[in-house]
């Protein structure tokens, strides 16, 4: 287990659809352990494999930040969603940006654990939001993509203006 370097926007891997895991080997379990160590080292509540440069459908989550309560999800598929909520989100791959994002309040996700065994997660609250955020990473989306165009434009304007000076 080791802390891995993070990929930051505009790294191309963050915009690519991650490939499914077909063979659950010890390397996948090591990757899950690296994801957890990296997430904790950067004080995150979730981290997806593309954020550390691995093009596979795997993420970890632990909104409680208490060791031993981690969730490792491979090949996730978002099922039933219900309700709407909004929370200010950030992302380890988009440092120093925090924006209010609307998401489903309750979700049901199916997938596999790090050994390939079936996994079903039903969640609400912060865990539901983290699951959706990490699922987005595996689809090549960032939380910024869920913002209305005017808020995305506002975030890009200071960067563009700084580049013109």
Calpha distance 120→77 (Å, rounded) = 10
* Pairing of β 118-124 and β 46-48: unpaired
Radius of gyration of the chain (CA): 16
Whether 134 is catalytic is yes
Catalytic pick among 9, 27, 99, 134: 134
Contacts of 67 (CB under 8 A, 6+ apart): 40
Q: What are the residue numbers of the active site?
A: 134
């Amino acid at each position: 287990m080791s802390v891995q370097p993070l990929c930051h926007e505009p790294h191309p891997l963050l915009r690519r659809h991650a490939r499914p895991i077909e063979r659950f080997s010890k390397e996948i379990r090591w990757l899950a352990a690296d994801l957890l160590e990296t997430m904790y080292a950067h004080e995150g509540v979730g981290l997806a494999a593309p954020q550390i440069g691995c093009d596979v459908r795997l993420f970890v989550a632990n909104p409680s930040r208490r060791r031993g309560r981690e969730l490792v999800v491979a090949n996730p598929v978002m099922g039933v969603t219900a309700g709407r909520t909004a929370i200010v989100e950030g992302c380890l791959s988009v440092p120093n940006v925090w924006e209010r994002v609307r998401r489903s309040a309750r979700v049901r996700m199916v997938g596999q654990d790090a050994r390939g065994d079936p996994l079903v997660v039903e969640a609400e609250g912060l865990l539901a939001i983290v699951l959706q955020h990490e699922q987005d990473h595996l689809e090549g989306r960032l939380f910024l993509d869920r913002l209305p165009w005017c808020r995305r434009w506002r975030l890009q304007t200071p960067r563009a203006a700084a580049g013109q000076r």
